[in-house]
Amino acid sequence: MFDLLVLGSGVAGLTTALHAARRGMSVLVVTKGELSHSATRYAQGGVAAALASPDSPELHLADTLVAGAGLCDGEAVRILVNEGPARVRELAALGATFDTDLDDDGVSQLLLAREGGHSLARVVHAGGDQTGAEIERALVDALHRADVEVREGWFALELLVERDRCAGVLAIDPSGEPHYVRALDTVLATGGAGQCFAVTTNPALSTGDGIALALRAGVACADLEFMQFHPTALHHPSMPRPLLSEAVRGEGAILRDDRGVAFMVDEHPLADLAPRDVVSRAITQLMQRTGAEHVWLDATMVDDFEHRFPTIWAACQSVGLDPTENWLPVAPAAHYMSGGVMTDLDGATTLSRLWACGETACSGVHGANRLASNSLLDGLVFGARVVDAIARGKTEAEPTGVMAGVLDLSLPLVSVADPVVLPKDRATDPAKLRASIQRVMSQDCGVVRDAASLEMAAQTLADLATLAEDLPARQAATYEALNLARVSQAIVANATARTESRGSHTRRDYPERSDELLGRFVATGDSAPRFVPLAEPALPRAAQ
């Protein structure tokens, strides 16, 4: 029995585990891959935080609320932007090395970049475009120094629900043998669900495992319709698609159509630095009008590209492109799940002693569309808050943040007292089922959707779900395919229910926002999603 079980080894999970170990808790980190291999390492842009004048938490708050298209929880965002700077400095104290330069007085200062949706430069980066890898390295090193127990290659199948509280998980070890892993408190920090789609920037391990675990147990999830598509993934057969960071446009790069026209100037006042949902939608609609498979990113004006963006440079060189001479073919790709397992302001879920943080969670900080480079900050801030809450004896969610109004719903939990029924060992190939799910999600539930395409997706996913019993037993690939199916069905159900266009959810048949839908669709895996209006809409003063 551990004090704390952490599922996942990205920035959120490692931050949570490290803070818990520092408080003297016995901690176990369970990860289905290697400890140092998570989606965090792919984060290129950096960490957004108001670290120096003329920036301020209030400006960061305003930019986040605008990007979130009315669905951010204001209190959650205020926590993010106020506590964020201290967490970034804490990360630097752990040994994370961020890029610096000398000011006019010869004093070393952090280099700050500007990305889409930000009103000024506030993004801290490392190694040019290797921020995620550097943060993961620093956290993994710190975790080793803290002597935290880690089990790599273990896959969580079910939450253990006993007496209406989470008591740990049922998991399989690398050989496929099932085990009960018990803990006083359990944290879901398993990352996102980009692998629900055929074209994604997410690594192969991003299969929505934490959200699927929650849905199976009847734990409330929300905002699943808001899958953010990154507008500038390199258009190339490799998968995951190489990401061309928003910071490239922050350095002056311009999106162009086949005629060379810089089309974003007509789409938004921030042009190429508009929020991601705006840029992805504009690119998709242009491609649909013209029949093009991609648009172009012109970065030929970016100074010292090779050293400023070494990861992107290497990705381009590997496919025979030179960013200093060639326009780069780009198209949107599934990138970040803005919703997830619902939490209060401390990370508590609707199941006692179950917590969530990072991309797995829906805390309200991202709303309908995440602001660029707020993701790493989210994991740093709310991972620490989970541990603070546990340390002061909290076990249940409170009606704060996105939980306002949700705890009053009748949400029946699913008790799991016996090992999950493993699929029969038959002939269906998990990889083929996975590919089929990804194909239908990209075709019918992509950047632009409508009732007909969503109905087609729902029917196809239901048909594919019947193949589950024929999957080989006790293989991680089997359970990843099952998780993708469950999460994809929930995404489609939420997208069907939200009959408006807002943030990263665009309906061709409902192109406008609806004030009547200013709220969240809550899914529990047992029925159609239920709508919960926002208690108090959060908008920056300029937008009110």
3-class secondary structure, 268: coil
pLDDT digits (tens, 9 = 90+) for 229-259: 999 999 988 777 888 988 899 899 999 999 9
Q: What is the H or E stretch that residue 160 is in?
A: strand 155-162
- Tokens 């790493």 correspond to 376
The CATH number of the structural domain formed by 2-226+338-403 is: 3.50.50.60
pLDDT digits (tens, 9 = 90+) for 402-452: 999 888 876 665 554 444 445 555 557 899 999 999 999 999 999 999 999
Mean pLDDT, the chain, rounded, equals 91
pLDDT at residue 502, as a whole number: 96
3-class secondary structure, 344: coil
Check if the beta carbon of residue 379 is closer than 8 Å to that of residue 428.
no
Q: Which string of b and e fits 389-399 if b means at least 16 CB within 10 Å? A: bbeeebeebee
Mean local confidence (pLDDT), 25-43: 82
Please indicate whether residue 276 is annotated as part of the active site.
yes
Asked whether residue 110 carries a pLDDT value surpassing 80, the answer given is yes
Q: Return the domain boundaries, the chain.
A: 2-226+338-403, 231-331, 430-521
Check if the beta carbon of residue 185 is closer than 8 Å to that of residue 167.
no
Asked whether residue 466 carries a pLDDT value surpassing 90, the answer given is no
Asked whether residue 470 carries a pLDDT value surpassing 90, the answer given is no
Architecture in CATH of 231-331: Alpha-Beta Complex (3.90)
pLDDT digits (tens, 9 = 90+) for 339-394: 999 999 999 999 999 999 999 999 999 999 999 899 999 999 999 999 999 999 99
Asked whether residue 478 carries a pLDDT value surpassing 60, the answer given is yes
Q: How far is CA 90 from CA 30, 60, 97, 356, 380, in A?
A: 24, 19, 12, 21, 10
430-521 folds as Methane Monooxygenase Hydroxylase; Chain G, domain 1 (1.20.58)
- Tokens 């929020």 correspond to 275
Q: What is the CA radius of gyration of the chain?
A: 22
pLDDT digits (tens, 9 = 90+) for 283-315: 999 999 999 999 999 999 999 999 989 889 999
Q: Among 122, 241, 276, 281, which one carries the catalytic annotation? A: 276
Distance from the first to the final alpha carbon of the chain: 50
pLDDT at residue 349, as a whole number: 98
- Cα distance between residue 153 and residue 175, in whole Å: 9
pLDDT at residue 544, as a whole number: 37
Check if the beta carbon of residue 13 is closer than 8 Å to that of residue 28.
no
pLDDT at residue 453, as a whole number: 98
Backbone φ and ψ for 382, nearest 5 degrees, come out as -80, -20
Q: Please report, rounded to a whole number, the percentage of residues in the chain having pLDDT higher than 90.
A: 76
- Tokens 């989606």 correspond to 39
- Cα distance between residue 339 and residue 367, in whole Å: 8
Sorting pLDDT into bands at 50, 70 and 90, what band is 540?
low
pLDDT digits (tens, 9 = 90+) for 81-94: 999 999 999 999 99
362-371, 391-400, 458-467: least confidently modelled range:
458-467
Nearest to 520 by CA among 506, 502, 540, 507: 502
- Cα distance between residue 249 and residue 253, in whole Å: 4
